[in-house]
Each structure stands twice: as structure tokens, then as C-alpha cells.
């Protein structure tokens, strides 16, 4: 009895989630004590910090979910940021230029995102492109189509399309009031999404199949799993979620932009890797991805509060990705050592 308890404790301490919790606690405490010391910096311990951090989460969260599911199955998608920007441009142009109502604009944007996902899946599954190069090539194709959409009647290319629409703004900015604290509606949506996809991965037949495909594609095929069909679903799913992220961004900033989400290009993937979805596929889950995302956004929020230059956040996103991969490498190596390979 005693023995078992110790081993359970050990298991918890060794788990990735525990490491992430510790990291998160260190970050929060560190920034909390650092922010009053540094002049010009705002306070980190402030209810506003919590609210804006959560709000910042909602956009990369959908990217992380889409990327996470794909990565579990051993694939990836580099076109996420561009698909998001594309969805946003469609919504903005649809409302402002084409006279659509906001619901129809959103449906069209999501449908087009789904088509992009379908093309990605065809390139990868039928033409056997490597996922990263297929999605990168698609990124530049999407970018060119965005230029077409953003060309106004006079033939000028607008890098941003401003729009006004009360209905959409109201939905995006809706808050749930809990006492004096306002919880943004998008945060509720993202939490729900994490729970749904978390359950999908861990509790359903379909989710288990993803892990098998990611861990050992040959074994998955031999056991009768249709890896191709799954891949189609995952690519379309990832693109639709990216489109959704872009629409939320557009709704919040009230403009469609050619460069929307550019800073979040790797955030989803980095969060997934940090959270234990290893790059080769077959491991990790949505809980880890959520924690990873929380760590990344707390870090960047903290840096912004203690007044670190915004250009350095770009450095940070790359460095974090590399750090997560290095971490992944060492944890995989120690795991292999433990098994004795």
C-alpha cells in the first residue's frame, strides 16, 4: 500500500504536466515580484492581467488544438496563420464590401478554410508531399488569393480592411459576469473546445486510432485503420479551427489584415510540443497542450508587463519552439534509456 503510494507520487512528479505547473508557478511568482521593481512596468498581480491573458489565449488555443490533433497522428500544418488571416479577410470583406450579413460571412469563411484543409490533405495523401512543404506551399498560394480578395474596386490592395458590424462585435466581446469579474465569452468557448477535443482524443475509438497512427503507422494499417480518412479529417479540422481563430481575431480588432496571426504562426505547435505532444506523433494530449499554451502566454504577457521590447517577442517565439524541441529530445532520450533501447 505504502509502496504504491510512493510510486504514484513519483509518477506525478515525473509527468510533463507537473513540470509545466511548476514552470507556470515560477513564471507567475517571478513576474509578480519583478513587475513592481522595474520602473515603468505595470503591475503583474492585477485582475486585468488575468483577463487579458485569458483573452490572448483564445486565438492561439484553436491553433493549438488543430495542430495538436495533427501532431498526435504524426503530421503537421504550417499554413495555420495564413488560413486564419484568410478567414479574417473574407469576413471583413464580406461584411464591408460584399454586403453580407455577419453570419453568412462567417459560414463562407469557415467553408473556404475547410476547402484549404481539403487541398492540404490531397497534397499530402494523394500526391505524397511531405506535410511541412505541402502546407508551406499552400501558405503562399493562400497569400496570393488574399491579395485578390483585398483588392478594392479601384484596383488598390488594402493591407487591412476595416469593418463595422454590431452583431459580430457584440458576440465576440460578450462577457460572462461572475461577481465583479468578467470572463470573456471566447474563453468559455476555448475551454469547451479543449474539453471536447481532450475527450475525443482520450476516450473515443477515433482518438485511440490517432495515437496508433502516430506511434506506428504500419501497425495501424495492419490493424485495419483507415489512416487516409483520418488524415483528411484532421487537416480539414485544423484549417477550420485556424479559420475560426482568424475570425475571432478579426472580430476583436474590427479589421481583416493580410498579416493577421503572423506572430502566432508557431504558437499552437510550440504549445503542443511543450505540452508533451512529441514531434514524431503518438504521444501527449490536449491537457498538456493547454498547459503549454498557458505557459507561453504567461511568459509573453509577463515580458510585455515588465516592458520588454515587442520585437523581442519574435525572438522569443522561435527560441521557445527550439527550447521545447530540445526538451522533447532529452525527455525522449531518457525514456528510451529507461526502456533500455
Could you list the residues that contact other proteins (CB under 8 A)?
73-76, 78, 121, 123-125, 127-134, 136-138, 140-141, 143-148, 151, 155, 157, 213-214, 217, 220-221, 227-228, 230-231, 235, 265-266, 279-281, 309, 311-319, 321-322, 325-326, 329
Q: Which is nearer to other proteins, 107 or 219 (by Cβ)?
A: 219
Q: Which is nearer to other proteins, 55 or 237 (by Cβ)?
A: 237
Grid coordinates given for 62:
484553436
Q: How far is the CB of 242 from other proteins (least distance, A)?
A: 17
Burial of 136 per CB tally in 10 Å (0-12, 13-18, 19+): middle
Provide the b/e sequence for 205-230 (b: ≥16 CB within 10 Å). eebebbbbbbbebeebeeeebebeeb
Grid coordinates given for 312:
523581442
Number of H helices, E strands in the chain: 14, 4
Q: Which is nearer to other proteins, 73 or 165 (by Cβ)?
A: 73
Q: How far is the CB of 262 from other proteins (least distance, A)?
A: 10
Q: Which is nearer to other proteins, 46 or 333 (by Cβ)?
A: 333
Question: Cα(84)–Cα(240) distance, rounded to whole angstroms?
Answer: 9
Grid coordinates given for 146:
488574399
Maximum Cα interatomic distance, the chain, rounded to a whole number of Å: 78
CA distances from 233 to 69, 70, 279 (A): 10, 10, 19
Q: Which is nearer to other proteins, 204 or 310 (by Cβ)?
A: 310
Residue 143: which residues within 8 A CB-CB, separation 6 or more? 82, 258
Q: Which is nearer to other proteins, 29 or 133 (by Cβ)?
A: 133
Q: How far is the CB of 214 from other proteins (least distance, A)?
A: 8
Q: How far is the CB of 75 from other proteins (least distance, A)?
A: 5
Q: How far is the CB of 253 from other proteins (least distance, A)?
A: 20
Grid coordinates given for 121:
490533405
Q: How far is the CB of 128 from other proteins (least distance, A)?
A: 5
Question: Cα(161)–Cα(163) distance, rounded to whole angstroms?
Answer: 6
Amino acid at each position: 500500500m505504502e509502496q504504491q503510494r510512493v510510486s504514484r507520487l513519483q509518477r506525478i512528479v515525473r509527468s510533463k504536466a507537473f513540470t509545466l505547473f511548476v514552470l507556470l508557478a515560477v513564471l507567475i511568482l517571478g513576474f509578480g515580484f519583478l513587475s513592481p521593481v522595474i520602473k515603468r512596468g505595470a503591475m503583474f498581480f492585477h485582475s486585468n492581467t488575468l483577463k487579458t491573458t485569458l483573452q490572448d489565449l483564445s486565438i492561439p488555443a484553436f491553433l493549438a488544438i488543430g495542430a495538436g490533433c495533427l501532431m498526435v497522428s504524426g503530421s503537421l500544418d504550417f499554413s495555420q496563420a495564413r488560413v486564419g488571416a484568410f478567414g479574417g479577410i473574407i469576413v471583413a470583406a464580406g461584411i464591408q464590401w460584399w454586403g453580407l450579413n455577419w453570419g453568412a460571412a462567417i459560414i463562407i469563411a469557415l467553408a473556404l478554410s475547410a476547402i484549404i484543409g481539403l487541398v492540404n490533405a490531397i497534397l499530402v495523401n494523394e500526391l505524397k508531399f511531405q506535410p511541412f512543404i505541402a502546407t508551406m506551399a499552400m501558405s503562399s498560394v493562400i497569400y496570393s488569393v488574399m491579395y485578390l480578395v483585398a483588392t478594392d474596386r479601384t484596383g488598390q490592395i488594402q493591407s487591412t480592411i476595416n469593418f463595422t458590424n454590431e452583431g459580430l462585435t457584440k458576440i465576440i466581446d460578450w462577457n460572462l459576469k461572475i461577481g465583479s469579474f468578467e470572463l470573456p465569452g471566447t474563453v468559455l468557448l476555448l475551454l469547451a473546445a479543449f474539453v471536447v477535443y481532450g475527450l475525443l482524443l482520450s476516450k473515443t475509438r477515433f482518438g485511440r486510432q490517432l495515437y496508433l497512427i502516430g506511434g506506428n503507422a504500419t501497425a495501424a494499417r495492419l490493424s485495419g485503420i483507415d489512416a487516409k480518412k483520418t488524415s483528411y479529417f484532421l487537416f480539414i479540422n485544423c484549417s477550420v479551427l485556424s479559420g475560426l481563430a482568424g475570425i475571432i481575431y478579426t472580430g476583436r480588432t474590427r479589421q481583416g489584415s493580410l498579416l493577421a496571426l503572423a506572430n502566432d504562426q508557431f504558437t499552437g505547435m510550440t504549445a503542443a510540443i511543450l505540452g508533451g505532444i512529441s514531434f514524431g506523433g503518438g504521444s501527449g494530449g490536449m491537457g498538456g497542450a493547454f498547459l503549454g499554451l498557458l505557459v507561453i502566454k504567461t511568459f509573453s504577457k509577463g515580458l510585455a508587463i515588465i516592458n520588454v521590447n515587442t520585437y523581442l517577442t519574435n525572438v522569443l517565439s522561435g527560441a521557445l519552439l527550439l527550447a521545447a524541441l530540445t526538451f522533447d529530445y532529452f525527455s525522449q532520450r531518457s525514456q528510451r534509456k529507461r526502456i533500455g533501447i
